[in-house]
Structure formats: structure tokens, C-alpha cells
Structure 1
Amino acid sequence: MNQPASLPLAESLLAAPLPAGGPAWLDAARREHRAAFAAGGLPDTRIEAWKYTALRGLAQRRFADGDAAAAARGVDVAAFALPGVEGPRLVFVNGVFRADLSALEALPAGVSLQPLSQALRGDAEPLRFALSRPALVGHGREAGDAFAQINAARAADGVVLRVAAHAKSIAPVRLVFVGAAADAELAWHARNVIELGEGAELDLVEQHVSLGEQAQLATLVSDIELGDHARLRHVVVQDAAAGANLIRRSGLRLHARAQATLHVLELGGALVRHDLRAELVGDGAQFHTRGVFMPHGRQHIDTQLAIRHQALDTTSSSHWRGVAGDRARGVFRGAIVVAPGADGSDANLSNKNLLLSPAAEIDTKPELEIYADEVKAAHGATVGQLDERSLFYLRSRGIPLGEARALLTAAFCRAMLDDLPNAVLREHLSGLLIAQLPA
């Protein structure tokens, strides 16, 4: 059972008026999603996918709807500077598009990038399928749908990114979501629709950063579709404020011979959850993820990875590493399903974790279901501490204990970035990982 919609958080999310000004089909879809959220309420730990992520504290809080001053808040572009990444970008502050901070003049031919709010003012019909999918209710309701439903009901802005067939984006496209301090605790929501046509190629960088101390609630839902032979290289850098609550859901569909590679760093936030789902629906599709989550203090970072092989000769590889210190908690659930008829699939999942404090906790759960023939599949997970022999070796060469621990931990995490082709970005992200290590 779920937590009722009478809780303060659910009440505050339901009380806000729905966004106005959209087409009739979108208004109807928003009402449907809001009704589904009201009927189901918030997920609780009796739902398997939320077993290790309790919402009791968050459920008792209220959040104001949106930020009326977002368009005027002072933001220095240096706050989201990213070495090695120059090119077009869309910037959102507390969920509101900021044209003054964005850069769209460098878009290559065949690439269309605009805020969702702008796209809805024009011909919104191409977005109808993505934005009006019926809410899941009743027995078929999946974990995480509560926040996806409230996002579908409330999101008034976000990203619409399309890459035409055989077009290539030479410079990375960057999506920046800034949480800025405000007079009240805010809830804001954003929705992304990303489509790559047949043979298209895209480098995409997604950033989550914060300005000042704030304890907002943000939801972000992304629908990503890759046509036949399309290529997506996606880097996600999440470094929200220590008090921020960030709940995301990303869904990818890969058609024949499409390839998607994701590198994910989860560093900031108070309560952070990311439901990452991939469907390999075309023969020969490939999906690869490399990720690091590094909670400290009292942070709670939860990654839910679900990959479904639905076609012949599909491939997935997922390698994730977690490091938790202080009283932090990390959660990783990796589920792979090889559906009937997905013969020749090759799936590999690995999650290795380090505990740097006796009070830290990491819960990991790999899952594997196979319903096809001639399949290669492997999965594994470990939770432990730094190797004492390696520590002894470094200390025997005059390296202090704290520095030795930092060196080994940094090497453990940096391995997830080794195949990132952008060397400048790779070194910058490595620096972020090192800066996150305990002193």
C-alpha cells in the first residue's frame, strides 16, 4: 500500500493549480495524472523498489508551487561552467527557462533545441504521444510512478531536443538545471523529450547544480527515443545543494542497432533518487552505463536501474560503484530482464561499493530474469571496505593513512570514467570525485 494523499507533501502537490494554456489533450492528460496521484498517494517501503528509501520525513513537509521570481534571479554563468564542454545549452532556474543564460546560436544543422514551454505554444501535436500517455493505476502500477504522475500533471517547462536523421552534433548539447535559493521551500517540475532520428549522433551533458542553501523538491522526467543506428553519449553530473530533494525518472527506447552510453555522477542532494529504465526494442541495440554515487553526511542517494532486452542480439553492460561515508546511505538496484524471443542477448551488471565509516550503509540488489535462449548474462554486487594490504603498501612507502585512503578511493571511482572520450571533461569530473572524499 502507498502513503495516502492526505499527507502534507501530497496535499501541497495536489493543491497547486495545473499549468494553463496548453492544448486540450494536454489539459486532459494533466487532470488524469493528477487524479492517479491522488488515488495512489506516495510510495512507501512496502513497495519493493522503495524498500530502502523511506519518504516519512519528506512526506510531512509542504512545498510552495514553483518560483514566480525565477526569471529575475541573479545567476552567474560561472556557477555551471564545465571544462571541455562548449556549445549550445538550455538553462533552467528553479524549473523556469532562462533565455539570458542559454546559448542556442551554435546549433548544428539538423538539431532542434527549445524549451518545452515554447514548443507547447507552437505546434504541440508531435509531443502528444510523449506527454499524454495514460497514468498507470491499480494492480499494474509500478514503483516510482507517483512522482512521474505528479510531474506529468505539473511540469510546465523542460527540454524538447530533436536530432534529424543522419545529423550529428559535433559540440555537446548541455542541459543545465539550477536550484536557486528562494524565500520559501519550493517544488518545481521539468519534463524532457529527446528524440534521435535514424543514424543520428548526439553528445549530451546534463547538469544539476545549486546556488545557495535551499531545500527544494524537484522532479525531472526524461523520455529518450533512439531511432535505428542512432548514437547517444550522455553524461549526467548531479551536484545539488546539501538540502535539496531531487527525484528523476529517465526512460530510453533503443531501436535496431542503436547505441546509448551513459556516464553518471551522483554527488549532491539530501534525498536523491533516479529511476533509469532502458528498453532494447530493436535487434542489435546496445546500452552501456557507468556510474558513481558518493553520499556523505546524512545524504541518501538511490539509483534504480532497469534494463529490458526485447529483441535479438541486444547487448547491455552496467558498471556502478558506490562510496558512502559518515552516516550516509546509498541504494542501488539493478534489474535485467531478457524477454521471450530476445535470443542472443548479452547482459552484464556489476555494482561494487565501499564503506568509509562504520555508520554508513549501502544496500545493493542485483536482479536477473531470463526467458530466452542462447543468452549470456552475469550480475554481481559487493559491499566492503578498503583493502588493508593496499593501505599497508602505501603507508610502507611513507604515505599518511588519510592520503592513502583517499588515493585508493579515488582510483576505485575514477575507473568508471576511464572510457569517457572527452579528456578535459574526464579530468574535471575526476576532480569533483576527489573533492567529495572525506578529509
Structure 2
Amino acid sequence: MTTAPSPFVRAALDAASGVPASGIAWLDAARGENLDAFAATGLPEGRNEAWKYTPLRALSQRALALADTATAAGADVPASLFALPGVDGPRVVLVDGVYRADLSVPDAGHGVTLAPLSAALASEPEPLRFALANRYRRGAADAFAHLNAALASEGVVLRVADGVQVAKPLHIVHVTSGIQPDTAWHVRVLVEVGKGATLDVVEHFVAGGDAPQLGTVVADYVARDASTLGVVILQDASSGTTLIRRGHVRLDTEANVTVHAVELGGALVRHELTADVVGDRARFNTRGVFALAGRQHVDTQLEVQHKARDTASEALWRGIADGRSRGVFRGAIVVAEGADGTDASLSNKNLLLSASAEIDTKPELEIYADEVKAAHGATIGQLDERSLFYLRSRGIPLVEARNLLTLAFCRAALESLPNEALREHLGDLLVAHLPTSVTTD
């Protein structure tokens, strides 16, 4: 017996029927194939191992229309909403998935191409074929990737030529307007850093309002031989936002990539980050922290795949949960056959600030090569009572003492960020998200 599609799936298929063809044969074919795959699988259910800690029953019952382009283009979005200390270079701003030329500063200088996806497709689509024609093969586990591939008509294309050293961070801003309730938007981000080039990117999620919306983002980062790439992901979406983000990083020979992620907002957030270390002597570092309150749910899925010789990776993630929130972290290191000389480590530590909060952590390690150094570990605990007592004995109020200890715990994920102004700002944002009272629930 065939199960009837959920309201979410039916609405997505209806929305797709109203999207005009691009006129690019391979792109339209890829969109159709991904839409068919999404229709066949629907959203992942609790029995799906990749989604077992993140139930989607409530989302499946929501019929979401595509966000209206004209409404997004006219939404009032002050520049102060996405201003960041230490980030004053070129930027691309998308509101509900719509490129806003009036808010963007795309001129990135010689050797750098920064453009909305729609413009890149209109001028020269063929170089984008490999990325946009990808097929996903995990069935329902890839439902949102299929949906994004079928419906994303806008995004960001960023290319840095060989040998170019980009002086200022490039700012990619995703704004959920909050003025289009029960709608969805979908964005693709494509970044390529040429051989020997250097680039820093800040991918920033902010809210203009609290109306419930869904956003999906699929981001591909490619770091060519001997290049250096730094990525900061700051997610501070509204309390009504459901955000699904998938990031994929490819590292060629001697590439060096560092990703810092800070998860603060959103009602339901899923962040998948996969690194393919395919070049000899490449290095991938990742640092992340989530700070949750209320009934927030944030699910982080990290996987680092070592496929070449003498590569290295280091992952350090922190999580704190208060109220009735729930955090999920899966960290996997996979060392493929032939990837001898790999040096990999993963650490995930978490704090529960409420008896009703929950954090699920699952470190994984698979090794199929010789001469490998690898370590992984995870902990879940509470604030150290002796340290808390010491601060209280010095006259520091209980809430302030708890927040000092919590911030010190989280700062380990930020201290390696070289942009000092941005690093301090992220610390201030963390403090603002810490509880202002002590609960005993």
C-alpha cells in the first residue's frame, strides 16, 4: 500500500510546478531528477539512522509555499542587522533566498569573482555543471539536499584565482525576513579557492522577524593545491526558523582549511559538514559551539574523510543546553585504505545547564590504513561545583558565576580564530545567549 505524501511534500511539489524552466538543459534535467527523488522518499522518519535524534513529524505536517520574490526584494532590511566587527569587505546579501543588489557589495577586487548564482548561470553556466548536477544517493537521508537541488534558483558563486591573497573577509549573508510566514527558501553556495590563494569567508544567518520559515542551504567549498581557506559560520536565526544546512569541503594537495561554527538561533537547525581530504599533506581543522535555550533543537553532523597520505585533521566542538533544549552531535573520522600517515583527532564536550535539557553525542572512528594516529572522545556534564563555589565566595552572583564558567568552556572553540574583533564579538553573542536566571526544572 502506497503511503500518501505528507502536507510538506505535497506543498513542495506544488511549488515546484510553478517554477519556470531555466532553459539550461542539464540544469533542468538535474532539477527534475532531484524533485522525483524527493517525491519518492519524502522526509526522513525516526527509523532513519541519520535522523534518529531529530524528528520531523511537526515539519511534515506544514504546507510551506515558496517565499515570494517580490516581497523579499522589497523587505526592509537595515544594514545594521548583519554588521559584524572585523568584517567590512565585499558581501552578498540574500533575503528569503533572493539576491539584494541594494544591500550587497560584490566588487571583491582583481582575481576574485563574486556574483549571485542567477547571474553566473545567465552568463556562463557550463563551469557550474559539475556542482549543480550532483546526484545524492542516501534516499530519504538526503531529502533536503534533493529539495534544495530541485528548487534553488539563487545563491552565491565565489572564485579566487591562483595565487591571489584576498585581504578582507568576504561576507555571505542569509536573512530570513520573518514577514512571509509558512514559506520556504533554498540557496546554493559555491566557493573555489585557486592554487596558492588565500581567502576568508563569513557565512552569516540572521533574522529580520520571527514568523516561521524554512531555509535550506547547500554549500560547496573547494580548496585547490597549497591554498588557505578560513570559514566562519555564524547562525543567529529567529526562534521561528527551521534551517537545514549542508556543507561540503574538498581539500587538494597541501590545502589548509579551518572552519569555525557558532550555532545560537533557530527553532530546529540541522548542520551537516563533510570534509573530503583528497590531497596529500592537506589539513582540515574545525571548531564549533552551540548555545541552546528554551525548546531549541540543533543537530550537528560532522564527518572528516581522509583519502590521501600524511593528512591531518583536528575537530574541537563544545555544546551547552539550557531549558528544555536538545543538542545533537555526531562526529566521524574515516581513514580510507592507503591514507597512511594520517593524524586525526576529535573532541566533543558538552554542558547541561538544566535538568530538562538533553545532549546526544556520538563520536565515530573508522580506520582502514596503517601508520595512523587517531583519537576521539566525548563528554556530557555539568558546571564544576568547586569552581562555582570559589567564584561565589569572591562575591560574584550565582548567575554571573555560572556564565563566566560557561563562557570559558565555550571559548576553546573560538580562541584560534585570527580575526580578533570578530572573535570578541562572537564571545559577546555567546554571553547574550546564556541564561539570565538559574532554573531548577
Q: TM-score range by the shorter chain?
A: over 0.9
SS of the aligned residue for 1:245 comes to strand
SS of the aligned residue for 2:412 comes to helix
- 1-structure distance, mates of 2:389, 2:11: 54
Does residue 167 (structure 1) correspond to residue 164 (structure 2)? The answer is yes
Match of 1:397 among 394, 397, 402: 394
User: Which structure 2 residues correspond to residues 368-379 of structure 1 after superposition, within 5 A?
Assistant: 368-379=365-376
Residue by residue, what CA displacement relative to the aligned partner does 1:64-98 show, whole Å, maximum 9, x if unpaired?
11223111111100111101111100000000000
Q: Which runs of 5+ in 2 are unaligned?
A: 437-441
The aligned counterpart of 1:8 is 7
Shift of residue 108 of structure 1?
2.3
**Contact 1:260–1:287 (CA under 8 A) maintained in structure 2:** yes
- 1-structure distance, mates of 2:430, 2:258: 20
The aligned counterpart of 2:81 is 79
Does residue 100 (structure 1) correspond to residue 99 (structure 2)? The answer is no
With 388-397 and 368-377 compared, the bigger mean Cα shift is at: 388-397
- 2-structure distance, mates of 1:153, 1:240: 24
SS of the aligned residue for 2:413 comes to helix
- 2-structure distance, mates of 1:150, 1:392: 51
TM-score (norm 1): 0.97
The aligned counterpart of 1:58 is 59
The aligned counterpart of 1:112 is 113
- 2-structure distance, mates of 1:321, 1:144: 25
SS of the aligned residue for 2:338 comes to coil
Cα 1:19/1:220, change in 2 over 3 Å: farther
Residue by residue, what CA displacement relative to the aligned partner does 1:91-140 show, whole Å, maximum 9, x if unpaired?
000000000000123x121110000011111110000000012232xxxx
The aligned counterpart of 2:39 is 38
User: Which structure 2 residues correspond to residues 6-405 of structure 1 after superposition, within 5 A?
Assistant: 6-16=5-15, 17=17, 18-68=19-69, 69-105=71-107, 107-136=108-137, 141=138, 144-405=141-402
**Contact 2:43–2:140 (CA under 8 A) maintained in structure 1:** no
Shift of residue 4 of structure 1?
5.9
Residue by residue, what CA displacement relative to the aligned partner does 1:17-70 show, whole Å, maximum 9, x if unpaired?
244324111000000000011111111221222111000111111111122311
Shift of residue 5 of structure 1?
6.7
Count, aligned residues: 432
Give 2:88's aligned amino acid: E
- 2-structure distance, mates of 1:354, 1:166: 43
After TM superposition, the runs of 4+ consecutive aligned structure 1 residues lying more than 6 A away are: none
**Contact 1:257–1:286 (CA under 8 A) maintained in structure 2:** yes
SS of the aligned residue for 1:20 comes to coil
Shift of residue 143 of structure 1?
6.6
- CA RMSD of the aligned region, Å? 1.2
The aligned counterpart of 1:429 is 426
- 2-structure distance, mates of 1:150, 1:227: 29
SS of the aligned residue for 2:247 comes to strand
Give 1:93's aligned amino acid: V
How many percent of aligned residue pairs carry the same amino acid? 60
**Contact 1:234–1:262 (CA under 8 A) maintained in structure 2:** yes
**Contact 2:37–2:139 (CA under 8 A) maintained in structure 1:** no
Residue by residue, what CA displacement relative to the aligned partner does 1:289-309 show, whole Å, maximum 9, x if unpaired?
000011110000000001100
**Contact 2:67–2:180 (CA under 8 A) maintained in structure 1:** no
Residue by residue, what CA displacement relative to the aligned partner does 1:384-406 show, whole Å, maximum 9, x if unpaired?
00001111111111112111111
User: Which structure 2 residues correspond to residues 407-426 of structure 1 after superposition, within 5 A?
Assistant: 407-426=404-423
- 2-structure distance, mates of 1:199, 1:22: 36
- 1-structure distance, mates of 2:3, 2:104: 40
The aligned counterpart of 2:439 is none
- 2-structure distance, mates of 1:213, 1:313: 47
- 2-structure distance, mates of 1:276, 1:135: 15
SS of the aligned residue for 2:205 comes to strand
SS of the aligned residue for 2:292 comes to coil
- 2-structure distance, mates of 1:15, 1:162: 35
Q: Which runs of 5+ in 1 are unaligned?
A: none
Shift of residue 419 of structure 1?
1.1
- 1-structure distance, mates of 2:256, 2:430: 27
- 2-structure distance, mates of 1:273, 1:428: 24
Cα 1:274/1:363, change in 2 over 3 Å: same
Cα 1:4/1:242, change in 2 over 3 Å: farther
